[in-house]
Amino acid sequence: MSFLSVQALSRHWADTRAVSEISFEIGEGEFVALLGPSGCGKSTTLKMVAGLETPTGGRILLNGEDITGRAPGQRQLSMVFQSYALFPHLNVKENVLFGLKARKVPAAEQSLRLARAIELVGLGDQIHKKPSQLSGGQCQRVALARAIVSRAPLCLMDEPLSNLDAKLRNEMRSEIRALQRQLGLTVLYVTHDQVEAMSMADRIILLNQGRIEQMGSPRELYHEPASLFVARFIGHPPMNLLPLSDHYLGIRPEDIRLADGPDSIANATVTYCDYQGADTLITTEFQGANMTFSLQGHHQLPVGRRLAIDWDSHHEHHFSSQTGLRLRSLIQQKESSHVEIR
């Protein structure tokens, strides 16, 4: 039996369909990311699981019990918000203990849980400071400590790192993942950042316009995108997509190479070079479409230079022009139009 089961969940307002009959399950101790662009329904889904939004239809089961109609405080979950949601007039200790005091947890138990949580998030020397005296990363650690002391079986996180700078986001990603594994937390994590989802989650649920586009491990979404939307959304830079007569051919930038054999013929024209430190992204015009590939190190190729590019056929992805869905059959791929790259 799954730990969290979301069944045909929907949320509509008049003619607006924010979430349309989505279903998924999460196992105990699993870290699952709800990923997608702004307006895709991921935060609305999280709020319905939390009890902050009322579903138009569907059910939510936690550990086999239907919690769809329960108030937020009766759902046995904790939540970490993008805005930290700390009380400005309370110090770190009082912010962390606020929920326990509201539930009248015995003082001795409060002290034990506080000591453990503060140790885990590394805020021992900040415990008497107020939020205004803390950095953004420290405020987020306070919010995490508050979730830890609740000992709720399910933790919901709504874009918790969006307000942090890039360096701190990287640090907090690894800290949150390490804490989740150490404590065995079940986490449902909302983000629009594919790097967060790919680096942290056991599984990703990718939403598009209120529906699930694909569910799977980060590797599955990257190497076997189920649709053109997934292919465009997952990966930086995104997959190259070449429109052919009856389908799209997809190829990842890292799978393209410069052809240097004696029979190689220039087939691409350089339009832009983007140096990124460890490598350089080269954008070319290829058969009327943009084709980007990466070269290790620094390269500054002149615009207009002609190149010969190539790739191995087993790196190709094929998508239907009509439905946008992946063409999975090898026979379908072979019967599709062949791209001539020389």
pLDDT at residue 342 in the model: 40
The residue extents of the domains of the chain are 4-222, 237-335
pLDDT band at 333 (very low <50, low <70, confident <90, very high): very low
pLDDT at residue 1 in the model: 54
Using the predicted structure, report yes or no on whether residue 330 has a pLDDT greater than 60. no
Residues 180-227 pLDDT 10s: 998 899 999 999 999 999 999 999 999 999 999 999 999 999 999 999
pLDDT band at 137 (very low <50, low <70, confident <90, very high): confident
Pairing of strands 268-275, 186-191: unpaired
Average pLDDT score, the chain: 90
- Percentage of the chain exceeding pLDDT 90: 70
**One-letter identity of residue 318:** H
Task: Measure the CA–CA gap between 156 and 62, rounded to whole angstroms.
Answer: 13
Pairing of strands 31-35, 203-208: parallel
Contact 48, 19 (CB under 8 A): yes
Of residues 268, 38, 65, 234, the one with CA closest to residue 153: 65
Residues 38-95 pLDDT 10s: 999 999 999 999 999 999 999 999 999 999 999 998 998 999 988 888 999 999 999 9
Using the predicted structure, report yes or no on whether residue 234 has a pLDDT greater than 50. yes
Pick the CATH number of 237-335 from 2.40.50.140, 3.40.800.20, 3.60.110.10, 3.90.600.10: 2.40.50.140
Pairing of strands 57-62, 4-13: antiparallel
In 72-179, the DSSP E strands lie at 77-80, 154-158
Residues 241-273 pLDDT 10s: 999 988 999 999 999 999 887 778 889 999 999
Task: Measure the CA–CA gap between 25 and 3, rounded to whole angstroms.
Answer: 7
Using the predicted structure, report yes or no on whether residue 144 has a pLDDT greater than 80. yes
Residues 36-49 pLDDT 10s: 999 999 999 999 99
Level-2 CATH architecture, domain 4-222 = 3-Layer(aba) Sandwich (3.40)
Task: Measure the CA–CA gap between 19 and 40, rounded to whole angstroms.
Answer: 8
Do 237-335 and 4-222 fall under one CATH topology?
no
Task: Measure the CA–CA gap between 174 and 184, rounded to whole angstroms.
Answer: 15
